[in-house]
Amino acid sequence: MTTRIDSRFAALKAEGRSALVTFVMAGDPGYETSLAILKALPDAGADVIELGMPFSDPMADGPPIQAAGLRALKGGQTLRKTLDLVAAFRQGDRDTPIVLMGYYNPIYIYGVDRFLKDALDAGVDGLIVVDLPPEEDAELCLPALRAGLNFIRLATPTTDDRRLPTVLGNTSGFVYYVSVTGITGVATPDFDAVATAVARIKRHTELPVAVGFGVKTTEHARAVAEGADGVVVGSALVEAVRTTLDADGRATEKTVSTVTELVSSLAAGVRAARAIAAE
């Protein structure tokens, strides 16, 4: 079964360029603003959207994404409302792939079978669940794959050649390479090391490799895109939301446009890498 994720990466490969994968937190700072941001991302240049599922104990996330999740939870965001966001987005966009990213606890509480059915009905294409290792694939990964969802796994700088085949075993859609050790949005990646790591992963899989953690600027996006199939940006986008909020943490007239302007700039960096590669 070919998913929207498979189709989008295949189309971009035919174009000769990398994907811009944008992460935003569902419900941050409120449902309506979150939906407005979501709807605006494709026209701003996002090729794939990762939508964060807010959770109270996000152990892999740095301060910006933690804060975004807490803002969303404070605003009443739930997993059901996150699926509603996707369904609302799908009313106007049937093509842009959406990946839900987060932790297993909310899915477990919701109920795996119910969650998978509701996610498919809403228009979700894939899942990234950062606290379920391959040894726990029977919990969610295998049921998700059987249901027709991509299950995207993370590889890190500490994932050596002995561990990598296990990580890749049931991975589909793309591989998410974490370019730095530690939490999101803190360090800037070593771009030469990233290119080397991507090449190593590609020796083990035919899947596209997208690189995230620490990509903040147009220049970062261009540097990563020169060696990867996708560039993932998250912390910079949720920080763009935060910097526009009023004193009570509510959205302002600048919130959506500030995010989309940054996405457009990042997209320009990704597309510039194609131009460099073509010379």
- Catalytic positions, written as ranges: 50, 61
The number of residues making up the chain comes to: 279
Give me the helix-helix angle, 218-225 and 191-202, nearest 10°: 30
Q: Residue 91 has what DSSP assignment?
A: T
- Which DSSP helix (H) or strand (E) runs through 50? strand 48-52
Contact residues for 239 (Cβ-Cβ < 8 A; gap 6+):
64, 185
8 Å CB contact between 151 and 126: yes
Taking Cα atoms as reference points, which of 213, 186, 67 lies closest to residue 128? Answer: 213
8 Å CB contact between 33 and 240: no
8 Å CB contact between 156 and 182: no
- Can you tell me the distance from the alpha carbon of 8 to that of 238, in angstroms, rounded to the nearest whole number? 24
- Can you tell me the distance from the alpha carbon of 148 to that of 162, in angstroms, rounded to the nearest whole number? 28
